[in-house]
Amino acid sequence: MTSAVSANALRQGPWPWLALASLTGWVALSGAPTQMAIPDFCGSVAGMLSQGVWSGVSLTLAMDPLGPLLAWWLMLLAMMPLLLGGPLQLLWRRNLARHRTIAIVLFVLGYLLVWTLAGALLTLASITLKVLAGDAAVVWAVLAALLWQASPAKQMSLNRCHFPPRLSLFGWPMARDSLRYGLINGSWCIAACWPAMLLPSLVEQAHGLVMFVCMLWLVRERMLPARPARWHWPLPSYRTLLPGSAPRLTK
């Protein structure tokens, strides 16, 4: 019954368009030059810093200042659209027909803004981890991801991603609330998802496969109901692999 309800929900609302946006991101990433990949950029910068070649870092950024930014946006386009089904459905249902498009555009702009800032911090974290840990950087990132996954803060952040905000219907308050919703939802999404975005930036071999697995993990998490924020085993058990089988958050 749960599987049938989930499949029916996926066929409705913005899901087909979000799936198409994600597919566009994957196709663009597959056709992008290798040097645009985040892991290659972080690896090259970390290598130069380890050797003390500071001028090489400045030269790399001067030759292609927008390359890392475009690569990060493509990564977001590939991995994030399927996480936005709930917020976009909420904006569609709670806004007047003539305001729906602008509300969604403002939400996406706010969401993209905070994730762009997060991209700069995660890229810096990836470079730092590679400089300090070398080949063991991926191991440390996996351990950090498992620790965060088990923490109450992770579940609280995930719960807040489901939190419906107050949305005004008219004029400037409507635009303000839509933009603020994108900023807030994006911030909680960063708190919930940052390990799944940091790990692919450290993996140069099989980078696309790691990205795809992380995306599936994030989508599965977002489809689960809110749960109590407490310490728990970070990996899913057999019973919690299906949406709707996890314990729900109650008052």
In a domain, 247, yes or no: no
Give the residue-averaged pLDDT of 231-250. 59
In a domain, 91, yes or no: yes
In a domain, 238, yes or no: no
Q: Which residues contact 207 (CB under 8 A, 6 or more apart)?
A: 37, 39, 200
Q: Could you give the number of structural domains in the chain?
A: 1
In a domain, 249, yes or no: no
In a domain, 102, yes or no: yes
- Of 15-19, 26-30, 48-52, 122-126, least confident by mean pLDDT is 48-52
What's the sign of the alpha-carbon dihedral 213, 118, 40, 23? positive
Alpha helices in the chain (DSSP H): 2-10, 15-31, 38-50, 54-63, 67-79, 85-94, 100-133, 137-150, 152-161, 171-202, 207-223
Give ∠ CA 153-223-207 in degrees, rounded to 5: 80
Q: Which residues contact 141 (CB under 8 A, 6 or more apart)?
A: 129, 195, 198, 199, 202
In a domain, 101, yes or no: yes
pLDDT tens digit sequence for 195-229: 999 999 998 888 889 999 999 999 999 988 888 88
In a domain, 14, yes or no: yes
Check if the beta carbon of residue 214 is closer than 8 Å to that of residue 141: no
Q: Domain span at residue 159?
A: 2-223
Q: pTM for this structure?
A: 0.86
In a domain, 113, yes or no: yes
Q: Is the pLDDT of residue 134 over 50?
A: yes
Give the residue-averaged pLDDT of 92-121. 94
Distance of alpha carbon 210 from alpha carbon 213, whole angstroms: 5
Confidence band of 107 (pLDDT split at 50, 70, 90): very high
Confidence band of 59 (pLDDT split at 50, 70, 90): low
